[in-house]
Amino acid sequence: MSPYLGRIIPRGPLPTHLPSQHLRRAIHLSRPLTRTAIFPRPVRNTTEPRIQLRSLSTSIPLRASSSELLDDVLPICCPGCGAYSQTVEPNEAGYYGKTRKQTRKLLSETQQVIDGQDEGSGVKAEAEKAAGRIQKYLESTEEGKEGVPRPKFGASLVKAADTAGRYLEKSKVPVQVCDRCHDLVHHNKAVSAVSPTIDSLRAYLDESPHKHNRIYHVVDAADFPMSVVKDVYETLGIMDPRSKNRRSATYSYKAGKKQPTISFIINRSDLLAATKEQVDSKMEYVRSVLRDTFNLSHEEFRLGNVHMISAQRGWWTKKVKEEIREHGGGIWVVGKANVGKSSFIEACFPKDSRNLEKIAELIELREEESRMAAHYDTSALDSDGLLPPAPREDLYPILPVVSSLPGTTVSPIRIPFGRGKGEMIDLPGLDRGDLADHVRDKFKRDLIMTKRQKPERHSIKPGQSLLLGGGLVRITPVNPDDIVIAACFVPLEAHLTRTDKAIEMQAEERPYPGTNIAQEGYGKTIASAGVFDLKWDVTQSHLPRSIAKAVADKKMKMPSVPYKVMSTDILIEGCGWIELTVQTRAKSVKESEAEAGSPGSFPQVEIFTPHGRHVGSRAPIECWKFIAAKKVLDNRAKGPRGRQNIGLEKRARHG
């Protein structure tokens, strides 16, 4: 008999990302009836399959061995990573060991709850009296609206609410995360989970118990739009983008079923600029790039379902939280690995406040669960689905673990909210690339941009190349006469050197003078990732400040200048971007536009990376001008003789 705490028998094809132990765990087993549970509790070491239910209103053995008690109090799935609970394989996700301090505390607290319950400690009786007082107060308040005097909200009612709140906390079995999540949070060590395919996510979505479903596609601002799933509309069966026609349908049906809608969340937007207003100014740019990514017409589609948030700073999270609360139903969080899905849930999950009405409703819900447990219909259990059963709703649920490790979430994590109105489902992250496989272990976390970069600009002169990360990325201008300016918004060390030396460093034939984060032998994998055109005209942004401002305010036309400044952003997967600009003759740009599509018509750079992958390009976002403007304010704040101008100093500090 399998020792795993199996929960479900999958129906149809299994998700290909689940490891073998999770597939074995998908066999429904059960144990003899010793406790009761709202959800089916399969048990090991028994040959008699039986459905087990748990409720605080039923009898429980006063004393049990630690192994039996641990089996009883384990959650169905770890709330931190979603892995099914097990006590057999310590190196796998979902493992709960009895030697951990938190687990010993869990066993002790659970035994105390059991002892106090069966010995008639009176905690439940006191809570029932408190619930009665709260309910009576609420009913009197409703009557008070019709003219009946309201009772005084005194200290006794506050004490009753506190008693009921403590009962709600004690009436449930304490839940802890598994050993893998504990090591990840406290010791910064764990093994990444296998990434699923998008077809696997579609299998989960097809089993949604909700009529209304909305997908929140989380995208990382650091390498936007490389972390966008381009086939998300077709594969997940999402409703097509709404047109600009004000009569366009809000919902659509396909095969008699309502199609899910989608919202795009550009997370970690604080990496783009220092202030909320500066990031707000990039919203139309983000919509434009998204339209280009999905090949949507700028004139026909509105793309009003885009939100730029910062979970760390709390920018725009309140608006998204209210949107989730009002929508209800199934809220599915989709995205590639390590784009910030768990941090998005932590910031935008619609938590409930602890007021009298919600406490009274939760107490009533607990009593209803107890009655259901006493007369549970085993035929109603969904034992052939891919989704794990939803846990019981709590005032303050344990949210998914937030970590910089890619592949933290193992399987779907369901978190109910709104007293049955809806739930958020955190899905495992899709594959994002293997650039980290070419980096030494102690530097892998340094690939992730955790704070806003303030780079210096590097001038790549003729015959030179720019190396990043000790040789992981090499940028070489194609035209030897071009002087390319590079602003590196990446957490990687930049090194400017002659092209012949750069080639030898990438081939590991010459030592790198700085910190080399690449693994030994990576030089054999270096290949060309392609030639990228600097084809976007950003001349207006590089005019003198007074002229540029007048042109932006439409107070004057764009002046005729004999040069053009062309630009593009080079994206490094999961790391960030490099803003490349080059000044060229205006005549040559006009010739390039007339010969659109001809090779070598625009200034170009060639990029070399491991296996020729992990890079992309986009229209320039021009975040460097925020840094340049702040430098101007800093210089002005010092004054002509080094004296500080207080007003300008404040503007520079907050800019």
Q: d(Cα 27, Cα 15) in Å, to the nearest integer?
A: 15
pLDDT given for residue 104 in this prediction: 74
**Got the DSSP string for 520-531?**
TTGGGGEEEEEE
Residue 419 one-letter amino acid: R
The model's pLDDT over 69-126, given as tens digits with 9 standing for 90+, comes to 566 677 888 999 999 988 888 889 999 887 887 777 777 766 665 665 544 445 556 5
Helix, strand, coil distribution of the chain in percent, nearest 5: 35, 20, 50
- Closest residue by Cα to residue 282 from 294, 292, 272, 291: 272
pLDDT given for residue 242 in this prediction: 84
pLDDT given for residue 557 in this prediction: 81
CA end-to-end span of the chain: 64
**Token pair listed for 15:** 């998700």
Stretches where the chain sits below pLDDT 50 are 1-64, 118-121, 143-146, 148, 150, 152-153, 173, 373-382, 648-649, 652
Locus of tokens 């919509």:
287
Locus of tokens 């990573």:
81
Q: Distances in Å between the alpha carbon of 82 and those of 77, 87, 313, 425, 608?
A: 5, 15, 26, 10, 38
Burial class of residue 394 (count of CB atoms within 10 Å of its CB; 0-12, 13-18, 19+):
middle
Structural domains of the chain ordered from first start: 190-350+379-426 (3.40.50.300), 437-622 (no CATH)
- The model's pTM is 0.79
- Closest residue by Cα to residue 409 from 424, 396, 394: 424
Q: Distances in Å between the alpha carbon of 469 and those of 395, 436, 444, 485, 578?
A: 45, 12, 11, 18, 13
Locus of tokens 């006794």:
156
Q: d(Cα 404, Cα 321) in Å, to the nearest integer?
A: 23
- 193 touches 413 (CB < 8 A): no
Q: What percent of the chain has pLDDT over 90?
A: 41
Which residues are 220's β-sheet partners?
267
